């Protein structure tokens, strides 16, 4: 197998951790030199990642090192959220990460970005982008992105996987509480009414009894799903993006969302729940596997920071499900502050989701 991963942890952010992770992956892959390296580092490396990138290049005998720093990182062996660490995937044989040339509309592009480097024109440019945003839950911090062994000045990196074909899926993993409802009045980020009802009345009516009886609404668990296309099948087919609820306003019975919406759009109310997320992840695994049409040789996974071990009570059930479905599959990723994937013909930025890419080596 010409692709493998390794992860190294320590007490301080030493460049040796990057060398150790890459060297370990090289041994597992049976490589003397790699075509390219996917390297993720914890936030402790972000102020000056260049020494670690040089160490990774030495261990791999190549300069094509791609990746970013992130709040947490993982491979199929383990995840790390609270210690300095480096995770590496090395590519040999036919497979390599290459700079993008041209603007093929159907090309699958690995896209990494810092929180301040995301913009709609880049996100919606030609090509099917998938990946994640290098940031914590607040979108703050000294997070860095690198390509070709150097920190990307513009905070973004996009590469293509040569020698492999892939399929990408998104697990948004929420429990829908209502059918899609038409937005009839908005003011900035406030949704005033849905149909003929004040939006807060609509939300309160759909919440489960155990939630309505709480002293305060658990706003961190409540979201609006903004749908695309046919409203009758949008929820079932996953054609929606999630917008967290920021505030429930009792004075005018409006609901403040994290995104600006317009009258005529449709949304449904939803709850974040571990069981719903786990069930949706199982479905996503099967959809991506069917689209790939064969067993994968390696995988890349980009879950939200709010979709990791803390959400699942100390165990990352998403990783467990992937490993259970594909035992021994080389896998790497990071916990970020936004997930990127194509949906319904255009690239979207997701929240509280997990983006999974599965790949087969070309023969």
For 172-197, the pLDDT digits (tens) are 989 999 999 999 999 999 999 999 89
* pTM attached to this predicted model: 0.93
Q: Are residues 262 and 178 in the same domain?
A: yes
Whether residue 1 has pLDDT greater than 90: no
Q: Are residues 30 and 116 in the same domain?
A: yes
| 222-237 mean pLDDT | 93
Whether residue 324 has pLDDT greater than 80: yes
**In angstroms, rounded to a whole number, what is the distance separating the alpha carbons of residues 122 and 118?**
7
| Chain position carrying tokens 């896998």 | 331
Q: What order of strands is seen across the sheet that includes strand 164-171? A: 79-80, 72-75, 331-335, 298-303, 354-361, 164-171
Q: Which residue has the higher pLDDT, 228 or 198?
A: 198
- Segment holding 208, helix H or strand E: none
**In angstroms, rounded to a whole number, what is the distance separating the alpha carbons of residues 118 and 120?**
7
Q: Are residues 203 and 305 in the same domain?
A: no
Residue 136 has a pLDDT of: 64
The boundaries of the domain holding residue 245 are 174-271
CB 327 within 8 A of CB 295: no
Residue 206 has a pLDDT of: 95
Structure tokens at 69: 């720093």
**Beta-sheet pairing, 331-335 with 339-343:** unpaired
- Domain end (from 256, 271, 286): 271
Count of domains forming the chain: 2
Structure tokens at 332: 């790497």
| Contact residues for 160 (Cβ-Cβ < 8 A; gap 6+) | 97, 98, 99, 100, 107, 108, 109, 110
Question: How would you class 293 by CB atoms within 10 Å of its CB: exposed for 0-12, middle for 13-18, buried for 19 or more?
Answer: exposed
3-state secondary structure of 86: strand
- Domain end (from 271, 300, 322): 271
């Amino acid at each position: 197998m010409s692709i493998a991963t390794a992860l190294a942890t320590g007490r301080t952010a030493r460049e040796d951790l990057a060398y150790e992770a890459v060297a370990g992956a090289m041994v597992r892959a049976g490589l003397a030199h790699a075509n390219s390296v996917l390297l993720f580092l914890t936030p402790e490396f972000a102020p000056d990642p260049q020494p670690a990138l040089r160490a990774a290049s030495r261990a791999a005998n190549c300069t094509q090192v791609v990746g970013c720093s992130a709040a947490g990182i993982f491979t199929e062996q383990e995840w790390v959220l609270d210690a300095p660490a480096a995770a590496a995937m090395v590519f040999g044989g036919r497979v390599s990460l290459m700079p993008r040339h041209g603007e093929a509309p159907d090309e699958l592009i690995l896209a990494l970005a810092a929180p301040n480097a995301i913009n709609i024109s880049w996100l919606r440019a030609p090509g099917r982008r998938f990946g994640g945003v290098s940031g914590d839950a607040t979108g703050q911090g000294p997070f860095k992105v690198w390509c070709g062994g150097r920190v990307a000045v513009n905070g973004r990196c996009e590469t293509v996987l040569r020698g492999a074909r892939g399929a990408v899926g998104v697990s948004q993993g929420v429990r829908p509480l209502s059918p899609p409802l038409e937005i009839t009045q908005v003011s900035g980020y406030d949704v005033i009414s849905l149909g003929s009802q004040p939006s807060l009345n609509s939300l309160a009516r759909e919440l489960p009894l155990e939630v309505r009886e709480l002293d305060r609404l658990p706003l961190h668990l409540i979201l609006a799903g903004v749908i695309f296309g046919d409203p009758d099948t949008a929820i079932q087919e996953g054609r929606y993006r999630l917008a967290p609820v920021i505030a429930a306003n009792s004075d005018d019975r409006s609901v403040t969302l994290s995104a600006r919406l317009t009258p005529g759009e449709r949304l449904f109310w939803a709850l974040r729940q571990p069981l719903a997320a786990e069930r949706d992840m199982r479905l996503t695994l099967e959809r991506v596997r069917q689209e790939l049409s064969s067993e994968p040789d390696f995988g890349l996974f980009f879950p939200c920071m709010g979709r990791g071990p803390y959400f699942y009570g100390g165990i990352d059930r998403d990783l467990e499900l992937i490993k259970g479905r594909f035992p021994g599959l080389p896998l790497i990723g990071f916990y970020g502050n936004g997930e990127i994937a194509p949906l319904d013909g255009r690239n979207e930025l997701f929240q509280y989701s997990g983006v999974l890419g599965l790949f087969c080596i070309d023969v």
